[in-house]
C-alpha cells in the first residue's frame, strides 16, 4: 500500500519540512555528479558503518576514524537512488507537516534529527559486524511516523493499492496503516537477524528504532496547549474593552 495523503490539512506552512526536503535534494544532486568510486568512498565516510565503531582496528586499516560520530547525523541526508529519496521525501511530506504544526519548525527539526540519530545507534547495536554503509532519512522519518501515530489517532490515510495493474484508492485509519507498517518493520528485522549479517538491503532496525524514538520523544517536543501562537487578524484588539480607563493616555 502506497500512502497518497492524509486527511488532516496543516494549519501553517511546513517550513521545516520544506527545508529538510531541499537539503536532501541538494545532497542527492551532489551524489549524482560523483563518479561511482568516489560515491562509494563518500558513503563510507559519511554513512553509518557499524564495524567502524565496533572494530577500530578494521576502521584504521581502511582509514576510517573510529572516533568520528558525524555519520550518525550526515547519513540522514544521503540516499542510494531515485526510488530511495523519492519514497522518503514523499513520506516526510505526508506526515511531517502535521507533526511540525504541533511542534513548531525549530522543535520539529531537533526532534527529526534526534530520531535519526537514535535510529542509527539502534542499527549499529543490532548489526555490529556490518561493514556496509547505511544511508537514508528513513530512520528519522520513522520517528515522524511514530509521533503521528499518537498525535493524530483520528486521522485517515488515502492509500494506493494496485490490483491487477489497476490503481485502487481507499482510506484507512492512520493508526492502522502506521501500526501495520511498524509491525512489518519489526518482523522483517527479526527475520533478517537469521540471515547473513554483512549484506546490503533495508535497515529494518533503524526503522524500528526511529519509530520507537518518535513514540517517546514527541512527548518532549510537542508545544503545550495554550502556548504562544500567532494571533489571527480579528484577534489583535479583542482585549481592548478590558483595558483600564486612561490606558491609551499613558
Q: Is residue 71 part of a domain?
A: yes
State the total domains in the chain. Answer: 1
pLDDT at 203: 87
How does pLDDT run across 26-81, given as a tens digit for each residue?
999 999 999 999 999 999 999 999 999 988 888 888 888 888 899 999 999 999 99
Q: How far is CA 46 from CA 63, 134, 190, 210, in A?
A: 13, 9, 27, 19
pLDDT at 225: 64
| Residue 214 belongs to domain spanning | 2-193+202-223
8-state DSSP, 9 = -
Q: Is residue 237 part of a domain?
A: no
Q: Is residue 58 part of a domain?
A: yes
pLDDT at 61: 84
Bridge partners, residue 134, by sequence: 48
Contact (CB, 8 A) for 51 and 124: no
pLDDT (mean) for 141-156 = 95
Q: Is residue 140 part of a domain?
A: yes
pLDDT at 198: 56
**Residue tagged 518482523 (cell numbers):** 187
Q: Is residue 57 part of a domain?
A: yes
> pLDDT class for 200, splitting at 50, 70, 90?
low
Q: Is residue 241 part of a domain?
A: no
Q: Between 246 and 13, whose confidence is greater?
A: 13
Asked if residue 19 has pLDDT above 80, the reply is yes
Q: Is residue 9 part of a domain?
A: yes
Q: Is residue 48 part of a domain?
A: yes
User: CATH number, domain at 95?
Assistant: 1.20.1540.10
Amino acid at each position: 500500500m502506497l500512502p497518497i495523503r492524509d486527511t488532516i490539512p496543516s494549519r501553517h506552512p511546513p517550513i521545516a519540512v520544506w527545508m529538510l526536503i531541499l537539503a536532501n535534494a541538494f545532497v542527492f544532486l551532489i551524489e549524482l555528479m560523483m563518479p561511482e568510486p568516489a560515491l562509494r568512498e563518500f558513503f563510507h565516510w559519511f554513512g553509518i558503518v557499524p564495524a567502524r565503531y565496533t572494530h577500530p582496528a578494521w576502521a584504521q586499516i581502511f582509514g576510517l576514524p573510529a572516533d568520528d560520530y558525524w555519520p550518525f547525523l550526515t547519513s540522514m541526508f544521503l540516499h542510494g537512488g531515485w526510488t530511495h529519496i523519492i519514497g522518503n521525501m514523499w513520506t516526510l511530506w505526508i506526515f511531517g507537516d502535521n507533526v511540525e504544526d504541533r511542534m513548531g519548525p525549530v522543535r520539529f527539526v531537533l526532534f527529526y534529527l534526534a530520531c535519526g540519530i537514535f535510529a542509527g545507534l539502534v542499527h549499529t547495536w543490532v548489526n555490529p559486524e556490518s561493514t556496509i554503509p547505511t544511508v537514508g532519512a528513513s530512520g528519522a522519518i520513522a520517528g515522524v511516523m511514530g509521533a503521528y501515530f499518537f498525535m493524530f489517532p483520528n486521522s485517515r490515510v488515502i492509500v494506493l493499492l494496485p490490483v491487477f495493474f489497476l490503481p485502487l484508492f481507499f482510506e484507512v485509519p492512520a493508526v492502522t496503516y502506521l501500526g501495520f507498517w511498524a509491525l512489518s518493520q519489526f518482523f522483517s528485522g527479526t527475520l533478517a537477524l537469521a540471515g547473513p549479517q554483512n549484506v546490503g538491503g533495508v535497515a529494518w532496525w533503524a526503522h524500528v528504532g526511529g519509530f520507537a524514538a518518535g513514540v517517546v520523544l514527541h512527548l518532549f517536543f510537542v508545544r503545550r496547549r495554550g502556548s504562544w501562537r500567532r494571533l489571527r487578524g480579528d484577534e489583535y484588539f479583542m482585549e481592548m474593552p478590558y483595558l483600564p480607563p486612561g490606558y491609551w493616555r499613558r
